[in-house]
Amino acid sequence: MKTIFEDVTCDDLFRRYREERVAYWNQYKRTRAGNQYRGRLTEIYRSFIQRGRRVLEVGCGHGDLLDAVEPAVGVGVDFSPTMAEVASQRYPKRKFIVADAHELNLHEEFDYIILSDLVNELWDVQRVLERLLPLCSYGTRVVINTYSRVWEVPLGVARWLRFASPVLEQNWLTREDLANLLQLAGFDVIRECREILWPLRTPFLDSLCNRYLVKIPPFSSFALTNFIIARPTVCPNLDRRQDASVSVIVPARNEADNIDDILRRVPEMGKGTEIIFVEGDSTDDTYGAIERAIARYQNRRCKLLRQTGKGKGDAVRAGCGLSEGDVLMILDADLTVSPESLPRFYHALISGTGEFVNGVRLVYPMEDRAMRFANLIGNKFFSWAFSWLIGQKIKDTLCGTKVLRREHYLRIAENRSFFGDFDPFGDFDLIFGAARLNLKFVDLPVRYRERVYGQTNIQRWRHGWLLLKMVFFASRRIKFT
């Protein structure tokens, strides 16, 4: 005996599913509450997406969000002809295409791809995510937000009371579900966060809930929407395994006796390695020691710059400005981190494992006098604070060895004013900037040794207070937007 399902194929079911949804969205009208919710979403997306980039929004609706992130090139895709037509009329500078996300077939790459409240509606989420891969370069970021399952019943009640628009059957995906689907489709989750605790416009209350309380447990568990930022791990348009040239930036102040060891021990990496010394108003003969060492090691590509500003951060920026390598490495001249470990940083970056590779001194046992107890406690506090701030795990914020691509550094430098230019160390400047670009952080454990020459330039209490002020300032820019 035939069942009622035998003559109905999966393609038939998908076709009916799509036709029903196209008809629904062709006549859709957003409620006042919906406008308020979308307004807050727009603020969040603007904090994630840098202006002047190539942006694709799949499921763009009327195009409001796409236009609000101010792209240099903005392309919107929606399967509702009515939606796409309205979007084209509102935003003639943007390009809008009528197409189904399941059959997306564009022939260009984008810096950001937005899926805002779209995965709730899709027949096959994995298929749509896989269709995005050909549109990605190595640096592409996919930004997704979707309703939290915690709100399934409250939203159902709100729609029954007509406070919210009725919707068709939804996919209620957990963050774990979506992260798993992204991995299956060839993406790696960089960052997750929960947003919007109070979707209605209410003086003082909505700002308190949506900017502050939603970022703090246990309130965050009741957020309305989950955000996920992901990057491609399988990128058909770029081979990340290609070798690259390297610039090693060495800030040096009162480190005369370490210079020969640096030139002798820094290995050659990739297509070639240059070493850039930035000497910072030393009271010993560090500048002369560098000049003599460069003359002795003529087989090494070296540059020497006398620092005009103050602080390690200024020295790092000066050295990066003089660099020519594809990969930038920072190595402290005190040699408390072994130069022989640098190839590990290089391979972690060039393989695509990470995009901001950060040295970690807090894994292996240290030599007895390598780090004072108060410094250790301070490092652990700042690692916790920064992990919470940037939404990624970072175990040691103040290790001097950090590695990233030159192209990413230049973008960080372009946006330095966003966080302010008052970091004397350069570590936080790079970490905040990399977090804003949504780079993938990777911690790389190193052995930390006590210095064999000179004294540390760190002043624990004065610099600790300055670092704490920087954390509070950055929290307003990154977390409480």
Do 159 and 251 lie in one domain? The reply is no
The residue length of the chain stands at: 481
Q: Looking at the predicted structure, is the pLDDT value of residue 169 above 80?
A: yes
Is pLDDT above 60 for 4?
no
CA distance 299 to 302: 9
Higher-confidence residue of 346 and 172: namely 346
One domain for residues 286 and 188? no
Secondary structure letter of residue 212 according to DSSP: I
Q: Is residue 2, in this structure, part of any structural domain at all?
A: no
Task: Check if the beta carbon of residue 453 is closer than 8 Å to that of residue 257.
Answer: yes
Percent of the chain residues past pLDDT 90, beyond the cut:
66
pLDDT in tens, 425-463: 778 889 989 999 999 999 999 988 876 555 555 555 565
Query: Which pLDDT belongs to residue 163?
Result: 72
pLDDT attached to residue 93: 96
Cα separation of 12 and 161, whole Å? 34
Q: Identify the residue with better confidence: 163 or 389.
A: 389
d(C-alpha 257, C-alpha 289), whole Å: 8
Instruction: Flag whether pLDDT at 149 surpasses 80.
Output: yes
- The residue among 167, 198, 232 that closes a domain is 232
Residues 138 and 254 in one domain: no
Answer whether 323's CB lies under 8 Å from 407's CB.
no
E strands in 177-296? 187-195, 225-232, 246-252, 273-279
Highest mean pLDDT of the ranges 27-36, 195-204, 466-475 = 195-204
Q: How far is CA 147 from the centre of its chain?
A: 22
Q: Please check the confidence at residue 181 and state whether its pLDDT lies above 60.
A: yes
pLDDT digits (tens, 9 = 90+) for 54-68: 999 999 999 999 999
Sign of CA dihedral 254, 260, 266, 272: positive
* 264 and 384 fall within a common domain: yes
Residues spanned by the domain of 44: 10-232
Give me the pLDDT at residue 415, please: 83
**In the predicted model, is pLDDT for residue 174 greater than 80?**
yes
Average of per-residue pLDDT values in the chain: 89
In a shared domain, residues 208 and 259: no
Strand partners, 77: 58, 97
Chosen domain end from 232, 257, 284: 232
CA atoms within 13 A on the CB side of 458: 21
List pLDDT tens digits, range 197-251.
998 888 999 999 999 999 999 999 999 999 999 999 876 555 555 789 999 999 9
Instruction: Please indicate, yes or no, if residue 161 is contained in any of the structural domains.
Output: yes
The better pLDDT of the pair 477, 90 is held by 90
The verdict on 213 and 131 lying in the same domain is: yes
pLDDT band at residue 397 under the 50/70/90 scheme = confident
Residue 5: pLDDT over 90: no
Query: Based on the domain organization, do 261 and 346 belong to the same domain?
Result: yes
pLDDT of 422: 63
Q: How far apart are CA 322 and CA 320, in angstroms?
A: 5
Least confident among 6-10, 93-97, 130-134: 6-10
Q: Assess whether pLDDT exceeds 50 at residue 352.
A: yes
Whether residue 264 sits in one domain with residue 227 = no
> What pLDDT is attached to residue 43?
95
Q: Compute the distance between CA of residue 283 and CA of residue 289 in angstroms, rounded to an integer.
A: 12
Query: Above 90 in pLDDT, residue 153?
Result: no
DSSP per residue, 77-90: EES-HHHHHHHHHH
CB atoms inside a 10 Å sphere around CB 425:
22
- Report helix, strand or coil for 116: strand
Residues near 365 by beta carbon (within 8 Å), at least 6 away in sequence: none
The answer, yes or no, to whether residue 135 has pLDDT greater than 80, is yes
Percent over 70 (pLDDT), the chain: 90
Query: Does 295 share its domain with 339?
Result: yes
Helix (H) or strand (E) holding 147: strand 136-147
Residues 215 and 279 in one domain: no
Sign of CA dihedral 88, 195, 143, 174: negative
218 in a structural domain: yes
User: CATH number for the domain including 133?
Assistant: 3.40.50.150
Q: Identify whether 5 is part of a domain.
A: no
**What local confidence, expressed as pLDDT, does residue 32 receive?**
66
Last residue of a domain, one of 232, 254, 271: 232
Query: Is there a domain that residue 237 lies in?
Result: no
Q: What is the mean pLDDT of residues 182-201?
A: 94
Report yes or no on 304 lying in a domain: yes
Domain identity same for 139 and 286 = no
Overall pTM surpassing 0.75 (yes/no): yes
| Sign, CA torsion 396/397/401/403 | positive
Evaluate whether residue 323 is within a structural domain.
Answer: yes
Same-domain status, 67 and 153:
yes
Kind of pairing between the strands at 246-252 and 136-147: unpaired
Distance CA 333, CA 360 (A): 17
75 neighbors 97 (Cβ within 8 angstroms): yes
Does the pLDDT of residue 112 top 80, yes or no?
yes
State the amino acid at position 254 in one-letter form. Answer: N
User: What is the CATH number for 304?
Assistant: 3.90.550.10
Q: How confident is the model at residue 328 (pLDDT cuts 50, 70, 90)?
A: very high
Domain total in the chain = 2
Rounded to whole angstroms, how far apart are CA atoms 321 and 204?
45
Q: Is the pLDDT of residue 367 over 80?
A: no
Q: Is 306 a domain residue?
A: yes
Residue 429: what are its φ and ψ, rounded to 5°?
Answer: -55, -45
